[in-house]
Amino acid sequence: MLKGKHFIISLSLILLSGFISVSLLSYFSARGSLSEQVVSQILPLTGESVYSQIRQQLREPVSLASMMSHDTFLRDWVINGEKDSSQITRYLAEIQKKYGSTTSFFISDKTHHYYHPRGVVGEVRFDNPQDSWFFRTKNMPQDYEINIDLERRVRQMLTVFINHKVYDYQENFIGIAGVGISVDNLQQMISRYKKQMGLTIYFTDRNGNILLGSSDKIRYQNIRHIPGLSQLSSELLSQKNDRYQYHHDNARIHLNIRLISEFNWFLIVERQDNPWDPRIWQPFLINLLIGTLISIVILILVLSLITGHHQQLKQQAMTDKLSGALNRQGFEDIWQNKNKRFTNSEYPMQCLLIDIDHFKKINDTFGHLAGDQVIVDISDIIRCHISYKDAFIRWGGEEFMILAEDTDQSEAISKAELIREQISQCVKAGNQHSNEDNTITVSTGITQWIPDEAADAMIHRADLALYQAKKSGRNRVKVNSVTESTTIT
C-alpha cells in the first residue's frame, strides 16, 4: 500500500512538472504570434462585444418608445385636438421619471409642436436642418430610427434618441414619440477597455468626424488628421467591416473597423503592437498560474479517487459477499491491530465461534439457495447483537466468528445465548410456513484470548469448545476457560 502511494505521488509530480514545462514552451513559442492574435481575435471580438453592449443598452429604450407610440392616452390626446398641453407634459415627465431616461418627447405632425417634460419647447420646421430628422423619420419605411445627436432643445448634451412613429387607429401618421438616453455609459465602457486591455475605441460618422471615444483620439477631431492614418482614411470610410494597420511614433497599430447601421456610425478599435507589453504577457502568466493550480487540484482529486478506489477494492477483498461479514483475509488484516490494542486491556477479547447445526442437511433438503438465505438471516441476527467495536467474520461455509472487544466471559456467554435463542426462534429453512421441521439452530464455542498468543491457539480453544457443544447435543453454548489446565464448561 505504501509503495502504491509513493508511485501515485511520483506519477502526479511527473504529470504536474510535464504540464508546467509544456506550458512554458507554449508561452515562448506563442510570444511571436501574439501580434496576429490581437489582429484576428482581440480586436474583432472587442468590436463585437461593444456592438452587443450598445444593442443591449438600447433594447429597453426601444421598447419604451414603442410602448409610447401605442399608448391610447397619447393617441386619443392627439386625435382630440391636443387641447391641454399640460396633460402631455405630465405624461412625458412621468415617462422620464419612471424609466430614468435623459429626456422624452412627442412631436405632432399636425401642429409641429415639440412637446417635452418642460412643456412646449418649440416647433419643427422643414427649412431647419436641425429638424431634418423628423421629416426623415416620417418618410422612412421603418417604424423607428436610432439617432445620436445633441439634445439642442434643452440641455445641449450628446444623446441617443429613439424616434418612433405614432399612428392613429386608422393607421394615419400623427407624430413621433420617443426617449433619449445619455451616452455616458458608452464613454465609461470606452474608458474601461482602455484601462483594462489597452484598447483605443472611438466612433466616427461617415465623413470621418470623431464623435465619441478616447481623449487621445477626440483631440484630432477627424481621422484624416491622425498621423499615419490619414492615408487610409478614404478607404476606411468606404468599408463596412475590415481590419488595417498603420504606423505612428515608430509603433505598429492594428485597427478593426465596423459600421453600426443603427447609428450610421463607424466603430473603430485599435491596439498598439508590443509583444512585451505587460497587458499582453501578464494575463498569459495569470492564465498559466490558474492552469497550474487547476492541474494541481485535479491531480489531488485523481489521487483521492485512486486511493478511495484502492480502499474500496481492499474492502471488497476483505468482505464475504453473501453475509457481508469479514472473510479470512479480513480477519488477518484486523488481527494485528486488535492484538496490540488488547495486550494490556482489563477485558481482553473474547472469541465466539458459531456453527450452524446440520447445515449440510439443510442444503440437501431445501437446496443451496435456501442454505444461502439461512446464512444471510443468521448474519443479520448476529450483526444486531454485536457492538461497533466487535469484529464479525465468516470463518467457513457455515461457521462464523465474533471477536468481542471490552467483554468479559460472562458477557460473551450472554451475547452468545441471545444470538442462539433468536436464531432458533426466527430463522427457518425453505418455506417459513411449512409444516416440516425446518427450525435452524447454532452451536457456539467461546474462549478468551491470552495476551501475546497467536490467533491459531485462540481459535483452537474456541474450536474445542464448539466441538463440545456439538457433542453435547447442539443448539448450545460451551466455554473453554483459560486456566493452567484448560477446562470446558
Rounded to an integer, the average pLDDT of 418-424 is: 94
Dist CA 269 CA 183 (whole Å): 18
The mean pLDDT value of the chain amounts to 83
d(CA 245, CA 228): 9
Mean pLDDT in residue range 48-64: 82
CB atoms within 10 A of CB 135: 15
Q: Which of 488, 483, 402, 479 is nearest to 450 (CA)?
A: 483
Give the whole-angstrom CA distance, residue 55 versus residue 237. Answer: 22
Q: Which long-range CB contacts under 8 A does 460-465 form with residues at least 24 apart?
A: 461/351, 461/486, 462/351, 462/352, 462/353, 462/401, 463/353, 464/488, 465/353
Can you say whether residue 107 is alpha, beta or left, with left for phi > 0 and alpha for psi between -120 and 50 degrees? Answer: beta
Query: Which pLDDT belongs to residue 112?
Result: 95
Lowest mean pLDDT segment, chosen from 171-175, 263-267, 375-379? 263-267
Percent of the chain with pLDDT over 70: 82
User: What pLDDT band is residue 485 in, cutting at 50, 70 and 90?
Assistant: very low
Indicate the pTM of the whole model: 0.45
Banded model confidence at residue 348, pLDDT cuts 50, 70, 90: confident
Residues 389-397, mean pLDDT to the nearest whole number: 90
From 4-8, 400-404, 428-432, the region with the lowest mean pLDDT: 4-8
Nearest to 449 by CA among 364, 338, 368: 338
The confidence score (pLDDT) of residue 24 equals 60
- Check pLDDT > 80 for residue 51: no
- Tell me the C-alpha distance between 270 and 190, whole Å: 12
Give me the mean pLDDT over the 80-94 stretch. Answer: 94
Model confidence over 250-274: pLDDT tens digits?
A: 888 888 898 887 777 898 888 887 6
d(CA 333, CA 342): 16
pLDDT at 141: 92
CA distance 110 to 82: 10
If pLDDT is split at 50, 70 and 90, which confidence band does 484 have?
very low
Q: 3-class SS at 445?
A: strand
Q: How far apart are CA 134 and CA 130, in angstroms?
A: 9
Q: Report yes or no: 439 and 428 within 8 Å, Cβ to Cβ.
A: yes
Percent of the chain at pLDDT exceeding 90: 37
Stretch 14-22: mean pLDDT: 67
Structural domains of the chain sorted by starting position, each given as residue range(s) with its CATH number in brackets = 2-54+185-278 (3.30.450.20), 70-182 (3.30.450.20), 319-488 (3.30.70.270)
pLDDT greater than 90 at residue 353: yes
Per residue in 213-227, pLDDT (tens digit) is: 887 888 888 999 999
Asked if 386 and 432 touch (Cβ cutoff 8 Å), the reply is: no
pLDDT at 411: 92
The pairs formed by 59-62 with CB atoms below 8 angstroms and a separation of 24 or more are 60/99, 61/101, 61/160, 61/162, 61/179, 61/181, 62/144, 62/146, 62/162
What the block records as the C-alpha cell of 327 is: 472473510
The burial class, CB within 10 Å (0-12 / 13-18 / 19+), for 179 is buried
For the residues 114-142, what does the mean pLDDT come to?
Answer: 91
Q: What is the mean pLDDT of residues 169-180?
A: 94
| pLDDT value for 394 | 92
Q: Rounded to the nearest 5°, which phi and psi values hold at 433?
A: -105, 15
